[in-house]
Amino acid sequence: MAEPRKRRLLDQIGESPTFVTEGSRITGDLETTGPLVICGTVTGDGRVGGTLHMSATAQWLGEVHAHSAVIAGRISGRLVIADRLEVGATAVIRADIVARTVAIARGAVIEGAVTVTSGTPVVRFDERRGGGGAAHSHGRRPEVVSADS
């Protein structure tokens, strides 16, 4: 019997990822061929050959290129995703975004241009996993998305 298709990127980690744990700080460019899980802070540019997962505690300052991404933390700089981008309710992205497809949870904050290269509309969703409503309980304003989205 075939395994059910996993729709959300969060369910598709697959191969062993590289971790930057909470409390860790990396300064300089970061490159990995596989998936990357960030819970700490990265200052510098990055290239991720697999899926980039950023927890709500993660911060990245710099230009980030990845195959796909699930973002729940903070990014300042530029975000370029070759395939799918999921933005969680706790995310704060102060960057221009380029991705093939984009899904944004209600509560996420995006300040910058959003360019969807596939031409499909940006998908809005209510996050039903841990912390979906947390954005409003911390006094943050709802998402701000540019006219390009």
Predicted pLDDT at 130: 59
pTM greater than the 0.85 cutoff: no
Predicted pLDDT at 142: 40
The pair of structure tokens assigned to 5 is: 């298709």
Predicted pLDDT at 128: 81
Q: How far apart are CA 29 and CA 90, in angstroms?
A: 25
User: Which burial class, exposed, middle or buried, applies to 137 when counting CB atoms under 10 A from its CB (0-12, 13-18, 19+)?
Assistant: exposed
Domain ranges in the chain?
A: 17-137
Q: Give per-residue pLDDT as tens, 113-128.
A: 999 999 999 999 998 8
Q: How far apart are CA 5 and CA 12, in angstroms?
A: 10
Least confident interval from 8-12, 21-25, 39-43, 75-79? 8-12
Q: Give per-residue pLDDT as tens, 60-113.
A: 999 999 999 999 999 999 999 999 999 999 999 999 999 999 999 999 999 999
